[in-house]
Chains A and B, each alone.
Chain A
Amino acid sequence: MHTGAKRFLLAAIFVAAVVSFFSAQFNRYYLGIAIDVGINVILAVSLNLINGHTGQFSLGHAGFMAVGGYTAASITLALSQKFPAAATPVLFVGALLAGGLTAALAGLAVGVPTLRLRGDYLAIVTLGFGEIIRVIFENMDCVGAASGLKGIPNYTNFFWAWSLAAVTVFVVTCLVNSTYGRGFIAVHDDEVAASAMGINPTKYKVTAFVVGAFFAGIAGGLYAHHKQFLSPTGFDFMKSIDIVVMVILGGMGRTTGVIIAAILLTLLPEFLRGFAEYRMIIYALLIIVLMIARPQGLFSFGKK
């Protein structure tokens, strides 16, 4: 399994590098969508660690994305003039890491009080956390307050989006399949039995939450340097729901299914521009019907 995962990681990074090398040949519009796909794969796979593998229900993934995005963008905005052009990748990676770590800290701050409790509290607290984040950014003048943060340098390219998506898939897969990671699945299956076996459910839940938040922060950084503009309303509840739908559609706890769902749900709105107002209605119906008829998700076949 691990050698397979490593091969996957190396192959994905190689493909990302090759495609990125020829990126000037591609239509910019399609390239932009491809970068969106990469970012959404990171978001969906990291949320899957929390919602799927560990069986907690977070509705605040967009909040962590916002924390990471704003942190990374503030760093590059402050330092991009002082850095030589050749060193921008270093600056970019540093900013992304800082964004991810800040988001992870936020995840720790939210997770510790709530994860001791039952799952539905987590849903509502993470939802509330997303609201608090939005309110805070709307009142922070140093990041543009309600009018948003403009002029972020365009550092995100195909290579970064796809290779970081591959890294996310790799880390989450290895984590879940490791000896330690069995704990996530144990907590998901039966918390009481898991704690009887000497597993501390809270510790595992918080770990999953912090790792998930870290990657959401990275995705936020990529998003900021891709769209070059951040506004607090872009990270509202609906953004979180978008990610949740990817996880549910793909099958909670099934990485491959979630990746397929993330790709499909990024591409679909591009083809259905005329049906924009029906998009959320379709998502909502999809959630209800899937939960009643096929709770294991659309793209999950065989035994988990």
Chain B
Amino acid sequence: MDWFLQQLINGLALGAIYALIALGYTMVYGVLRFINFAHCDVLMLGAFAAYFLAPAVAHVFAPESYLGAIVIVVLAAAICAVIGILIERLAYRPLRNRPKLTSLITAIGVSLFIEYACQLEAVFGAQTRPFPKLLPQHDFQFGGLSVSSNDVIVLVVTALLLAAMRFIVMQTKTGTAMRALSFNEEAAALMGINVNRIISFTFGLGSALAGVAGIFYAMRAPGIEPLMGVQPGLHAFVAAVVGGIGNLPGAALGGLVIGLLETFAGGIPGLSNYRDGIAFAILILILLFKPAGLLGKSTVEKV
């Protein structure tokens, strides 16, 4: 029973990170209908932004203070938002009216470019660097359970961000424009919606979430390196599809499902070696039996 609860907590924390990343995939897919492969590299850049910001922020605020951590996270998220907007403007916007396959291939190109450019010695280098401690860490003990304060913070912040996203998309004027755009781009433009601005906003928002997720992921990982985003990025994408791509609550649900299943599989001796393959096995099963995802609605393509 202790084992089960322990895995449940670990799984929820991992799932929350996946959910944050999956939100970015799903939002971009909603407005542009293609997979932004470079999303996972924005996540890596977020972690590196925090790595370089931490010493500077430690001068102003006390090291490992909550206020300092908040400043680092907000700044890193802002940097990621700018990077996301730049990627969209430079690489994806010229391809807006071309076949979607072209955008997809370009996205892969952008992703590879960021990964390999960052591996150059002149940029970050390929070696793994230890991620600084941003927060004071406590372990709460409940009987045989140990819950790290970081996991609690990850869960709380993710829940808050999810609620904020839902508010932005459902309640604000910009959110209404985003939904209109994902429904029908041309009609939205005819209604006076500035399509370019909304798409930039969506990229910025998704990339900021990726930046936050990158910091959370780095806090749990042994260190950070330029390829660190690839694995969580892939798994989060699977989470977005499992939940129903284009659907915000679906991304959160998918993230939790994938995080939990992976953590539980990792705890079972015979299965732990296959941990990285599990997300994809689930993906294939979902596509076979419920291609629109758990919460997605299947749509009929009209000609």
Contact = CB atoms under 8 A, between A and B. Distances in A.
Interface stretch (B132-140, B190-198, B277-285): B277-285
Interface in A107-140: 110, 113-114, 116-117, 119-121, 123-125, 127-129, 131-132, 135-136, 138-139
A287 B104 CA distance: 11
A119 B116 CA distance: 26
Nearest to A280: B116
A287 B108 contact: yes
A170 B269 CA distance: 49
Contact of A287 (B112, B115, B119): B112
A292 B116 CA distance: 20
Contacts of A131: 234, 276-277, 280
A119 B104 contact: yes
Contacts of A132: 277, 280-281
Contacts of A277: 116, 119-120
B222 interface: no
Contact of A125 (B102, B116, B119, B287): B287
Interface string B282-302: 011001100100000000010
A283 B116 CA distance: 10
A262 interface: no
Nearest to A252: B101
Contacts of A116: 291
A264 interface: no
B273 A192 contact: no
Nearest to A119: B101
B234 A128 contact: yes
A278 B117 CA distance: 8
Nearest to A115: B287
A129 B95 CA distance: 28
A135 B283 contact: no
A284 B277 contact: no
Given A114-B284, A288-B113, A139 B273 contact: yes
B196 to A, nearest CB: 17
Interface residues of A, number: 41
Interface string A168-207: 0000000000000000000000001000000000000000
A107 to B, nearest CB: 14
Given A121-B287, A284-B112, A292-B106, A135 B273 contact: yes
B110 A288 contact: yes
B35 A124 contact: yes
B104 A123 contact: yes
Contacts of B98: 295
A95 interface: no
A292 B281 contact: no
Given A124-B241, A125-B283, A139-B273, A288 B109 contact: yes
Nearest to B281: A132
B34 interface: yes
Interface string B48-80: 000000000000000000000000000000000
A288 B94 CA distance: 11
Given A117-B287, A280-B112, A136 B277 contact: yes
Nearest to A286: B109
Nearest to A129: B280
A295 B98 CA distance: 10
Contacts of A138: 273
Contacts of B241: 121, 124
A6 B29 CA distance: 46
B119 A128 contact: no
A149 to B, nearest CB: 18
A285 B113 contact: yes
A120 B110 contact: no
A57 interface: yes
Contacts of B268: none
Interface in B249-295: 273-274, 276-277, 279-281, 283-284, 287-288, 291
Contact of B105 (A57, A110, A117, A278): A57
Contacts of B105: 57, 244, 248, 287, 291
A207 B115 CA distance: 34
A288 B120 CA distance: 19
A57 B119 CA distance: 27
B113 A119 contact: no
Given A113-B288, A281-B112, A281-B120, 7 more contacts: A59-B108, A119-B104, A120-B100, A128-B234, A277-B119, A280-B116, A284-B111
9 contacts: A114-B287, A120-B35, A124-B234, A132-B281, A248-B105, A280-B112, A284-B112, A287-B106, A288-B109
Per CB-CB distance, the 7 closest pairs between chain A and chain B, nearest first, are: A287-B109, A128-B280, A284-B113, A284-B112, A280-B116, A288-B109, A132-B277
